[in-house]
Structures are given as C-alpha cells and as structure tokens.
Structure 1
Amino acid sequence: MTVTDGGIVFDPYDYDFQEDPYPTYRRCRDEDPLHHNPELDVWFITRYADVHQAVRSPEVYSNAMGVSIDKSAWGPDAHRVMSFLGMDPPRQTRLRSLVSKGFTPRRVAELAPQIRRLTDLHLDRCIEAGSSDWIHDFAGRLPMDVISEMMGVPEADRAEVRRLADLLVHREPGVRDVPRAGSEAALTLVVYFTEMVESRAKRPTDDLTSALISAHLGDDRLTEEEIIAFLFLMVVAGNETTTKLLGNALFHLTAHPEQQERVFADPDDGHDLVSPWIEETLRHDTSSQMVARHLLADVALHGRVAPAGAKAVLVLGSANRDDRVFRDPDRYDIFRDKEELAQLLSFGGGRHFCLGANLARLEAQIALRELVRRVGTVEVAHEECERVHSINVRGFSSVPVRMVAR
C-alpha cells in the first residue's frame, strides 16, 4: 500500500500509488507537506503555495539535473534529451529564446486548419466504427500527427515514433529507473532526429525543424545537438501530455452524467463548455503530475529542512487539489469558478512555464468541440480503462468508448 498505518509512504514508482495518488497527496499536504522518502532520498513538496513559489525560484530550485527522479535521467547531461527543461538561466534563457524563434505563437495558430483536418480524419473512423478505443484510435493519434506535421515527420514513420515515445514514459513494476526498452527507444529517437536534422540542413522545407536550423539571435544559432534535444522534448512532452489530457477529459466527464448531459445536450451550448471542461480536467487530474528539481540551497518549510544538494519533487497534481486554494478540490466540476481555474499549475510557472501550453489547449479545444458538434451519445467503459504506468505522466493507455453521431 502507498499509505500505511505507520505513516506516509510516497513512492511514485508504486503501481497502487499510480492508480490513485490523491489520498497520499492529501495526507502529505495536511500532515507532512515537505515529505522525505528515505529509500529514494527524495523530498516531495505538495502544497500549492510552496509549489507556486518553487517554480518561480530557479536560484534555489534548479533544473540543471533534469526533471525526472530516474537515476539514468538525473544528471548534468539531462539537457541532451530534455532541452531547456534541463537547464538554468542564462543557458535556459538563451536556448528558449532561440527555440521560440521557430516555435512562435503564429506558427502554432497556423496549425488550426491541420488540427481540424486530422480531428475529422480520426473522428470519422471512430464514429463509423461505433465502438473504438479513444486513446488508440483518436487521442494517441491526433497529438502525434500534429507534432509530426509541425516537425516534418513523414506519415509512414509516425506510428513508430509514437511507440518509441510511449516506451520512454512507461515504468516496469519494481524497476525504479528508465527500463531498458525505454533507454533503447531514446537512443533510436536520437538517431532518427539526427538524420532528420542533417537532411533539413541540406534541403530546407517549411517545417519546424528547418525553422530551428535557421533560427538565430544575431550570430548565435542553435547547434545540431540543441535542435535534436528540442525535437526529442516535443515528442515526449508535446505528444504524451496532450494524449493524456484528451483521455482524462473524456474519462472524467463521462463519469459525471449530469455534467456530460449539459455538454452534449446542445452543440452550441456544449461548444461554450469545452474550455472549462479542459481547464477543470487540467486541474483535477493533470497529465504532468510532478517535476524534479535540484536544490541549490537549504529549503525550510513547515518545520522541516531539505538540504542543499538534495533531489526535490514539485507535485503539481497535489497543488491543483489543495483545499487552501480550491473549494471541494476532489470534486470534478466543469462549472467551477473561473478565478479558481486560472490558478492551476498544470503547465508549471515562471521561466519554465510550458512552451507548448497554447498548442495543447488549441488541440484539445478543436478536438473536443468537434466531438460535441458531431456526436450525441458517448459511453465510456470505465471499468475496462487501462492506466499508463509512469512516474511523471498520468493518463490512460486504453479508454474503450461507444459513440453515436447526432
């Protein structure tokens, strides 16, 4: 069990914990908000105010060792696969500024027609089939297709790239590190992106990869290694988290029939409810549950001290359920006050606020609005849904669904 009679045991690798981490989060917030797991030698920060402060304090909470507590992912080379997420200012500031030259709000906004086309393509198949798997047939395909088209990954390669990305976040029972299959997947993706960058350098095209190659600030340009690391980050963070957001959104809404009825009763009214539906899902059960930090100074909170040099984890999923900020936080409510929803920490904050937040929201908006517009009945087999086993990402690998068109 994750929580024992003798005290709190916070083990993010434990499968029982992954099924429902929220009771453990609650006990930590109330009883031990700076909780230490001696076996992992990790400090978990769970209250909203503390997490909110931490994401805005890079001088204490460093990203330079990475954002995962996995032994093989933690260290000074984390930036090789996590790009600027594995850096502190000024390196982080420089790299993020250069990457932003290619990953512009305009480029994201211009993706809308492609997202609609891909949404229609995958939704058509789900509706026609009647019964399908929301993850396998829609939520897992749409974000990967969007990211792939943005980066320039050929359609023939996308299923394999997605398979490799899935292996990167999966954790085996009893293994407290990246499993061998995940490490091999990482190497395969690095080789793939290396070849793609080399190809674009010789023959530029109209995609993000080519834009990153040409991006510059004065004479400063991205190195090949920096471009590959960012593409790697896009596939892992940009694909997996949006897939989980779409899966969590449908799972939780259909578990609350009275709210589902309001959303699907009328396409016009439902259209207006999609935004709060997305935001409440991000608050209630966020895709990115926790991110690691390396402490550059002692951190004293609530009578305890995490020492400089320690590994700390900012538990975003717990902060979003803190009753000091959110009323009745364990209740899923798409009609929750907008001021509360505006405080969610699902995309982090400060210098490391998620660069892909706008893209994730745009994809979810288009996908779920089309679902509401075209589908009158949605039934999810909740007892048959299967969860992804991951320490950082929370969501489903399978959500069986039956849809009936309007």
Structure 2
Amino acid sequence: MGRVELAYSPYDPAVNEDPYPVYARMRREAPIYHNPELNFWALSRYDDVAAALVDSARYSSDHGPVLDGGVWGPKARTMLSFVATDPPDHTRMRSVIARGFTMRRVAALEPMIRGLARGYVEEGLEKGTFDFARDLSAKLPLDVISELMGVPPSDRAEVRERNNGLLRYHPGSDPSEDGLRNLFSLGGYYASIIAERRKAPRDDLVSVLVADDGLTDEEIVPFMLLLVGAGSETTTHLLNAAWYWAWRNPEQRAAAFGGAIAPWMEESLRYDTPAQGTARRLTEDTVLHGVDLPAGTRMWLLAGSANRDESVFPDPDAYDLGRDTSKLISFGAGRHYCLGASLARMEARVALEELTRLIAPDYEIDTTGIRRTRHGNVRGMLSLPTTVRPA
C-alpha cells in the first residue's frame, strides 16, 4: 500500500480523537506545515514553538490566538481582551490585571476551592456513577472564577449555562445566533458588576481592575468573558486528562493515589495539553526550514506537539509521572504566559487531593460515553462517565 499523505487540520474529528501520531509525522516530515484551505502554517517542534512564543515582536498576537472564523482578525481584542494585543497595550493591561493574580490573592482562595471540590466529589460519591466532566471538572473552575469576580452564588448556574452556550458553534465558522446572544447577555451582566464595583469596591478581581481607572469598561468586559471561558477550560480539561489517563495507566494511577499529586498534574499537562495550539501573525518576512513566509502569514504554534517532542521528552508517548516535565509549555511562554497558571495549578492540585482522599483508586470509566471538544485550539472531554466507591 502507498504511504498516506500527511494532512492536518485542527478541526478534523479524526485528528481531534488522537492528534499525536499526526504531530509526530509533522515533526519528522513537515516541521513547517501548510494548510492552504484554512490558510495557516503550523510549527510542531519544541524548539520552534518555544522560540516563537517568546518572540512577540516577530510573532504578533494582534489578531488573536485562535483560528476560528469570526474571531481571528484586527478586532480580536474586542472579544479576547489583552491576549489579542501587543505592547504597549498588552503591557499596560497585563500590569493592571496581574494585580488580581498575586500570590497572596491566589493563596487566599485555597480554602474556598477545597470546600467546593470536596462538595462536588461527595456528590459524585453519593451517586456512585456520575459524569466527571459535567458534574465536577466543568463546575469547579467556573465557580472559582465566579468567586474571584464577585458573581453571587445565586447567579452562577445561569452564568455557567450562558458561557457554555458561547461554545456551541461549528468550529471554523462564525459563532451561532445563540452564541452571540449569550455573548451580549453575559457582556451586559458583567458590565453591571463593573458599575457596582466602581460605586462600592469589594475584595474581588473586578474591584482591582476598576481601581485608579486603570482599565475602561470596554477593556474589562472582554477580559471577564475571556476569564470565564478560556480561564476555566484549561483547568477543566487538565482535570479530565489527569482522571482519564491515570485510569488508563494503572501503575501511574497507583503513584497518583499514593501522593504524587504534583507530578500527576504536570504530566497530564504535558501528555494531553488542554490548549493544543495558539495563533500568531508574522510581522516581517521570515524563513523557516527553508520556506519563505511573508509578513502577515498566519502561524499556528502547536504546544500539544511540542510537549510530545522526543528531542526534549524521551519516550514522549508514555504517560510517566516520574519524568522531568520542567520544560513543558502548556501555559505558553514569554509576554503571553498565562496569568492564571498558578490559579489553575492550585485548583487542579486541590481537586486531585480531594479525589484521592475520598475515592478509592479502582474507579471505572465508561469509554462509550466519552465526548470530546471540537475546538481547534482546545482538546478535552465534555463527558466522562465515571463509577466510583469511597476510599
């Protein structure tokens, strides 16, 4: 039989089911890969991706980090806030937003996060069989973000549902009418919170953002939408990956339930990276692997592939909690390194601690009920049926 032609699209269902064999071929055969239909060039090797992430002058973020139609473009910042900007706007906005993610502020959230996590784990235990993705990993990060932003508990279920509605569109196309309606509805809701905090500040993130008029309402609302969406998805899919891959690898599961929580979390971030890719726009003519790329070229930086690069991570397709994960780039690098990385790690750590404390390690997953995301830049599970018993 003839060799199958290398073809990669982040929206191909077959690729999304298991992209890693395709990434391996790209690293070997086409380290700079062109998809003419979607008009992007992809980098898949660790050294190339890592270098591009820190070179914000050549690899601009001003068109946004996603390929999806209706989002990529010069107006991306109206939906994606400061992650779709370059200096000096990015520097100004990030410096203000960073005040809401200080070590002190994040550390102070741990008791609240632990209480929420314990409650969701206990609910799962009471049911015996539950959907880990829907009933735990999707709820916990959104509740934490809501607490951080001062969204009252009475509004959180509705906010969660509206946020989910934002993602119900066919990947690669424009958002649906329902998605746009949810977008405007949430935008209006967050604008009302901003107005309240300008009148009466509290000890929450929104109050930090409005202090000293550092940001306008038009800058804060997109950031809140970004935080509720992308800011929660990373933790959700990290937890799903950890739970699933530990189940698939019993020896590693034993190590995880034996107390190797941090290695469990970090190896899951490497092995099945939630944010698989991020887009950039070339600002100048560039030559990569012998290919001439003009200024304006849309680049796709595959962190999911870089984290499986055998030149950096030996035996990369093995799920191994004992490996060195210090070079993983799951949260990006450079100017756009994820501001919420420490919060995401804390949420995941606390949740995994509560899971291993309350649930026996012989849990089961019904693989026939697993449903995956269809996002071009996000890989994860929307449904993960699990049967558990008390530890």
TM-score tier, shorter chain, comes to: over 0.9
Q: Partner residue of 1:97?
A: 95
Alignment of 1:315 onto 2:315: no
Please show how residues 37-48 of structure 1 align to structure 2 within 5 Å. 37-48=35-46
CA RMSD, 1 decimal: 1.6
**C-alpha contact (below 8 Å) 2:33/2:43 kept by paired residues:** yes
Q: TM-score, normalised by structure 1?
A: 0.92
Which residue of the other structure, out of 152, 173, 181, is the alignment partner of 1:154? Answer: 152
- Shift in Å at residue 389 of structure 1? 1.4
Q: Tell me the distance in 1 between the aligned counterparts of 2:177 and 2:377.
A: 18
Please show how residues 113-132 of structure 1 align to structure 2 within 5 Å. 113-132=111-130
Q: Partner residue of 1:84?
A: 82
Q: Tell me the distance in 2 between the aligned counterparts of 1:75 and 1:263.
A: 43
Alignment of 1:393 onto 2:378: yes
- Shift in Å at residue 400 of structure 1? 0.7
Which residue of the other structure, out of 276, 280, 304, is the alignment partner of 2:267? Answer: 280
Q: Tell me the distance in 2 between the aligned counterparts of 1:179 and 1:16.
A: 24
- Shift in Å at residue 328 of structure 1? 0.9
Unaligned runs of 5+ in 2: none
Give the 3-state SS of the residue equivalent to 1:397 in structure 2: strand
Alignment of 1:195 onto 2:192: yes
Q: Tell me the distance in 2 between the aligned counterparts of 1:68 and 1:392.
A: 7
Q: Tell me the distance in 2 between the aligned counterparts of 1:171 and 1:244.
A: 19
Q: Partner residue of 1:370?
A: 354
Give the 3-state SS of the residue equivalent to 1:347 in structure 2: coil
Which residue of the other structure, out of 58, 61, 76, is the alignment partner of 2:59? Answer: 61
Give the 3-state SS of the residue equivalent to 2:280 in structure 1: strand
Q: Partner residue of 1:224?
A: 217
Deviations 1:129-162 (A, max 9, x none): 1111101111111111111011011222222322
- Shift in Å at residue 74 of structure 1? 1.2
**C-alpha contact (below 8 Å) 1:375/1:403 kept by paired residues:** yes
The residue type paired with residue 322 of structure 1 is D
Q: TM-score, normalised by structure 2?
A: 0.95
Q: Percent identity?
A: 45
- Shift in Å at residue 299 of structure 1? 2.5
Q: Tell me the distance in 2 between the aligned counterparts of 1:292 and 1:45.
A: 10
Give the total of aligned pairs. 389
Q: Partner residue of 2:292?
A: 305
Which residue of the other structure, out of 226, 233, 241, is the alignment partner of 2:234? Answer: 241
Give the 3-state SS of the residue equivalent to 1:200 in structure 2: helix
Q: Tell me the distance in 2 between the aligned counterparts of 1:47 and 1:322.
A: 6
Deviations 1:157-207 (A, max 9, x none): 22232233333344427x534344333332222122112211222232221
Give the 3-state SS of the residue equivalent to 1:309 in structure 2: coil
Deviations 1:248-302 (A, max 9, x none): 11011101112213333xxxxx22x010000000000011011100110123121
Q: Tell me the distance in 2 between the aligned counterparts of 1:190 and 1:356.
A: 21
Q: Tell me the distance in 1 between the aligned counterparts of 2:166 and 2:237.
A: 15
Are residues 170 and 23 of structure 1, via their aligned partners in 2, closer, same or farther at CA, if it must alter by over 3 Å?
Answer: farther
Give the 3-state SS of the residue equivalent to 1:405 in structure 2: coil
Unaligned runs of 5+ in 1: 265-269
Q: Partner residue of 1:267?
A: none
Are residues 207 and 301 of structure 1, via their aligned partners in 2, closer, same or farther at CA, if it must alter by over 3 Å?
Answer: same
**C-alpha contact (below 8 Å) 1:248/1:285 kept by paired residues:** yes
**C-alpha contact (below 8 Å) 2:255/2:321 kept by paired residues:** no
Alignment of 1:34 onto 2:40: no
Are residues 390 and 229 of structure 1, via their aligned partners in 2, closer, same or farther at CA, if it must alter by over 3 Å?
Answer: same
Greater shift, 145-154 or 182-191, is seen at: 182-191
Q: Tell me the distance in 1 between the aligned counterparts of 2:20 and 2:379.
A: 12
Q: Tell me the distance in 2 between the aligned counterparts of 1:277 and 1:61.
A: 32
Are residues 298 and 32 of structure 1, via their aligned partners in 2, closer, same or farther at CA, if it must alter by over 3 Å?
Answer: same
Q: Tell me the distance in 2 between the aligned counterparts of 1:30 and 1:41.
A: 22
- Shift in Å at residue 123 of structure 1? 1.1
The residue type paired with residue 383 of structure 1 is T
The residue type paired with residue 350 of structure 1 is G
Deviations 1:332-389 (A, max 9, x none): 11121x2xx0000100000100000000000011110111112113222223211121
